[in-house]
Amino acid sequence: MSGSTVKPKGPVAAALTVNAFLVYAFFFLPIVILAVFSFSDDRLVGRWGGFTTSWYGEFWNDTELTSSLWVSLRVAAVSTVISVVLGTMAALGLERFRWKSQRFFDSVLYLPIIIPDVTMAVMMLLFFTWGIDLTNEAFGTNFAKGFATITLSHIAFSISFVSVVVRARLAGMSLELEEAARDLYASRWKAFRHVTFPQIVPGIAGGALLALTLSLDDVVITQFVAGPGGTTLPVRVFSLIRKGVTPVINAVSVVMLVASLLLVALSVAVQRLRGGSITG
Amino acid sequence: MTVPEAAVALNGIIKRFGDVTAVDRVDLNIADGEFFALLGPSGCGKTTTLRMIAGLEFPTEGSLRIFGDEVGTLPPDKRPVNTVFQSYALFPHMTVIQNVAFGLRMQKVAKAEANERALEAIRLVKMDGKEARRPHQLSGGQQQRVALARALVNSPKVLLLDEPLGALDLKLRQEMQRELKTLQREVGITFVFVTHDQEEALTMSDRIGVMNDGELLQVGTPEEIYERPANRFVADFIGQTNLLDGTVESDGTVCLRNGARVPVNTQSLAAGTPVAVSLRPERAQLHQPGQQPADLPHVTGRLEQHTYLGNALVLTVALDWMTLDVRVENLSGYSAPALGTEVVVSWDRDAAVVVRA
């Protein structure tokens, strides 16, 4: 029966249908419930008390929450841009050149993917505490943990993911394309700019999306390296749970969910646009 | 009188990859306007040689000049040569015309002029009407044409082609062979062509360089290469041949393995030199025993096999120490001797070539 598509019959078909429904229900029911109760007019998170949008208003007026949302977005944007640039450069270096002890650097680059988040978090905390103390002592500066330390840690783990994705794309690209560009009077830079880069854009976009999501998502590492100067939205939400949960959390979660969906939709749209209308 | 300057001149070119010597002391002059084929089995160094001319590899030793200018260490974008790659290497994200105009745009030719010249080149390779297509929408033959146009539009001083017809099926390949030849005459550019297909090299080129194991064994016209191979490898690689091993005797004959002495043109090789007598199947004649013309070199054997080719037959004759192929035209009324009968194979004294073993 290899390769042919045979429709299952009888009880098998019924079981498969039920299974499919269960799987999707498992995926999406929590989302639906979350969205529904974010509009519930009751102070208890799981009780329906009529329709209201007041929780969104409360979120919007809560300066602690909005400022941490702002931090989240800035950290995500900055860490994505920097890790995409560095990750792509690492991918190019490892894929297109041969040098001494390359295998070592190759395997070391992927450590952040393997290291547990908690370990990474403690490492970062120690590193920054030690580093900041040292610089403050040596140069009389007044650095503290905060936006910069969060961003740096996010860059540190995102680079690996970006370079994995970009490298996969580079490996699938024929070296002859770059040679052809060089043969046709393109300098190294122009060959990259006009031939290599357009070929690996999907990989770079994928890596960027991954970096963005990882940054917006991260709780563990951020919690350790955040300072008094403010923290990201997920960490703030996490700390709210301890104070006692209000449906504001539901509203915040829905906003984050919609934002990520918009992001994915946007990147798909950009891909389509690029594919359809290259001229000149 | 001055000797016309060579389009490409290689002097003592050596290319090593680590411990492996890919190209070993190659000296070669390719004349302006020539259609030159580098021929050899895969891994013989022909593609490496081509890539060194293109600037995609740099020679380890030796001098490489293009129209007199030393280019040995110049990067590919600084050389007046263009390449048609084996896989065509068309840019997948660009249309046909963007591909063809690429080289001109990189040389800072204005866009309008670049497009105009690209269109001209596209017409030259008969791809007009398909300017807006993407490479993946083209057949292999069409991609090949675009790759040609993309190289030729830059008016290179030398066009390099790396097995450009290898991926095409037989019919298309023969068609492209003819077209390439015509095209080369039209544009008058020096073509350097890499192939492992000896038939392709013979039919297309003005001259051929035969390579093996990194060495350039012989350079000559197709006729010279076929009729007067420099050594055993060339004789064997170009066309079909029978190689009868032996040694040169002091009386100018060659003593074969079975002790028979055959009178051949030993080309003043010293007595005792191990050689092979190269006898092309179409130059040998088959006779009933005793009916061979007197005083022609000959060997005796037993007919072992018929191979029917339609317009000809190849008869395989078993000697004591080897087999010989004899090609007989399938003229009307011809009937081959029965298998197993004793036959004599003879040849004209000048039909066989003595090559160094």
Find the residue in A nearest to B101 (Cα): A184
Class for the domain spanning B240-356 = mainly beta
Those of residues 184-223 in B touching chain A at CB distance below 8 A are: none
Does residue B21 contact residue B15 with C-beta atoms inside 8 Å?
A: yes
* Structural tokens at position A12: 């098998």
ipTM of the complex: 0.85
Helix (H) or strand (E) holding A34: helix A10-37
* Residues of chain B neighbouring A182 (CB-CB closer than 8 A): 55-56, 75-77
CA distances from A120 to A123, A209, A233 (A): 5, 22, 20
Asked whether the beta carbons of residue A180 and residue B154 sit closer than 8 angstroms, the reply is no
CATH homologous superfamily of A63-279 equals MetI-like (1.10.3720.10)
* Structural tokens at position B120: 């001209």
Pairing of strands B190-195, B35-39: parallel
**Distance separating alpha carbons of residues B98 and A53, to the nearest angstrom:** 54
Those of residues 117-176 in B touching chain A at CB distance below 8 A are: 150-151, 154
pLDDT one digit per residue (tens) for chain B, 357 residues = 456 789 999 999 999 999 999 999 999 999 999 999 999 999 999 999 999 999 999 999 999 999 999 998 899 999 999 999 999 999 999 999 999 999 999 999 999 999 999 999 999 999 999 999 999 999 988 999 999 999 999 999 999 999 988 878 888 888 889 999 999 999 999 999 999 999 999 999 999 999 999 999 999 999 999 999 999 999 999 989 999 999 888 887 888 888 888 888 777 788 888 899 999 999 999 998 888 888 888 889 999 999 998 889 999 999 988 999 999 998 888 888 889 999 999 998 888 888 887
The domain segmentation of chain A, as residue ranges, is 63-279
CATH no. of B8-227: 3.40.50.300
Pick from A174, A177, A178, A185 the residue to mutate for testing the B interface (most B CBs within 10 Å): A185
Q: Which residues of A104-127 are buried (b: 16+ CB within 10 A; e: fewer)?
A: eeeeebeebeeeeeeebbebbbee
The domain segmentation of chain B, as residue ranges, is 8-227, 240-356
What stretches of chain A adopt beta strand conformation (E)? Answer: none
Residue B197, phi-psi category: left (phi > 0), alpha (psi -120 to 50), beta (remainder)? beta
Per-residue model confidence as pLDDT tens digits over A209-268: 889 989 988 999 999 998 876 789 989 888 888 777 778 888 888 988 888 888 888 877
The answer to whether the Cα torsion of A28, A34, A40, A45 is positive or negative is: positive
Asked whether the beta carbons of residue B102 and residue A179 sit closer than 8 angstroms, the reply is no
**Distance separating alpha carbons of residues B357 and B349, to the nearest angstrom:** 19
**Distance separating alpha carbons of residues B28 and B219, to the nearest angstrom:** 8
Asked whether the beta carbons of residue A184 and residue B102 sit closer than 8 angstroms, the reply is yes
